[in-house]
Amino acid sequence: NKYVGEYIMVTKRLFACVVSALLMAGCGADNEPNDGRKVVNIGHVGPLTGPSSHVGKDNERGAGLAVDEANQSSVVIGGEAIKFRLISEDDEANPQKATVVAQRLVDADVAGVVGHLNSGTTIPASTRYYEAGIPQISPSATAIKYTRQGYETAYRVMANDEQQGKVLGDYAVKTLGAKGIAIIDDRSAYGAGLADEFESAVKQAGGKILAREFTDITKVDFTAILTKIKGIDADLIFYGGMDAQAGPMMKQMKNLGLTAIFLGGDGIRTRQFTVLSGAESEGVYASTPGLPLEQMAGGTEFREKYKQVYREDIQLYAPYAYDATSVMIDAMKRANSVDPATYLPFLRSTDFKGVTGRIRFDERGDLKGGGISLYRVTNGAWKYIETIGGGE
């Protein structure tokens, strides 16, 4: 009857109003009453659903800790008491979705963006932020292209794939003694970019590439690729991609009787990788830009704080997300302004003592002097080997 119809119509209108209000406030924004401070929005983006959600949530938590601490310290900028609010968006590690949520943050009038996590999402989104004049600091995107686009809004707080690929290629040939190497990558901006740099470094070091194979981030069955590699007798397999695929890949390698050394980049050096691959993870090598958490300037203290708040350990990039957020807030303080156009030039002159170490940027927005640390799975856990590079 008409009353039921009117009820449904009113309910729909109320629902639409709620959705609209949530979008204006931003996902992940706090709902505390206004305490008289000026609210400044900082965006965060990463995969909060899907196979990489564990690292996306890790980044979000790191950024959230930095925002909470800034708010507890009674920040005053431009003569006004400031309250920072984190607006967190889920890009699902999807480049198309990344541009959609980037525009959503632009429309929400964020003062800056911490993200995205993946290179494949960071790069397309960076154009939106550049066009809007909004500073962007990625805690974890390592693809070279990100900071080579000429965008003065683009920064990152960890070493890039050029640095990481060079170390991994040298290590494979000169330290691990690999004679014949097979490469697999997931065709993402991160995976393919790191694999390209690794391949170049292997050749420069005198190593031999026997095969270059490709998959994509939706695949979980690598039997055909691994069977082909088994037939060429490679003694080392390098994988450019993330842990969600590297874990099953390791199990399938062992099932096929492959005894080749397995080597990867930071995308696989997570607790999740050892969970997914189980006992088959033993002996796997991987790298991570920067120092081990225990050797970071504030690493141990940060871990304790993180575990106290979230009741679990860090996955991977949380300290970098914390530093990216802190560096952005520091630039606002030094500029005495939360206006992106005013504080953006102050990012270039950053000299910040962060959890991960001393943070300074070169003319492109890349981290100066980023070292690469190497690890090996021993007794089911990643064990630190050494750090190569770093310093000025």
**Residue 347 identity (one-letter amino acid):** L
**Cβ atoms of 284 and 385 closer than 8 Å:** no
Over the range 228-241, which residues count as b (16 or more CB within 10 Å of their CB) and which as e? ebbeeebbbbbbbb
Instruction: State residue 2's pLDDT score.
Output: 36
Instruction: State residue 287's pLDDT score.
Output: 96
How far apart are alpha carbons 369 and 197 in whole angstroms? 18
Kindly report the number of other CB atoms within 10 A of residue 331's CB atom: 25
pLDDT class of 243 with cuts at 50, 70, 90: very high
How far apart are alpha carbons 85 and 132 in whole angstroms? 20
DSSP 300-361: HHHHHHHHHHHSS---SSHHHHHHHHHHHHHHHHHHT---HHHHHHHHHT--EE-SSSEE-B
Q: Which residues contact 96 (CB under 8 A, 6 or more apart)?
A: none
Instruction: State residue 371's pLDDT score.
Output: 87
pTM (predicted TM-score): 0.84
Crossing angle (nearest 10°) for helices 53-72 and 318-335: 40
Checking if the pLDDT of 188 tops 50, the result is yes
| pLDDT, mean of residues 95-110 | 98
Q: Which of 27-36, 89-98, 171-180, 230-239 has the least mean pLDDT?
A: 27-36
SS3 180: strand
How far apart are alpha carbons 15 and 23 in whole angstroms? 12
DSSP 8-state assignment for residue 116:
-
Kindly report the number of other CB atoms within 10 A of residue 271's CB atom: 16
Torsional sign, CA 57, 372, 214, 271: negative
**Cβ atoms of 287 and 373 closer than 8 Å:** yes
Q: Which of 10-14, 36-40, 317-321, 367-371 has the least mean pLDDT?
A: 10-14
Q: Which residue has the tokens 């964020």?
A: 110
Q: Cα angle vertex 57, ends 55, 63, to 5°?
A: 105
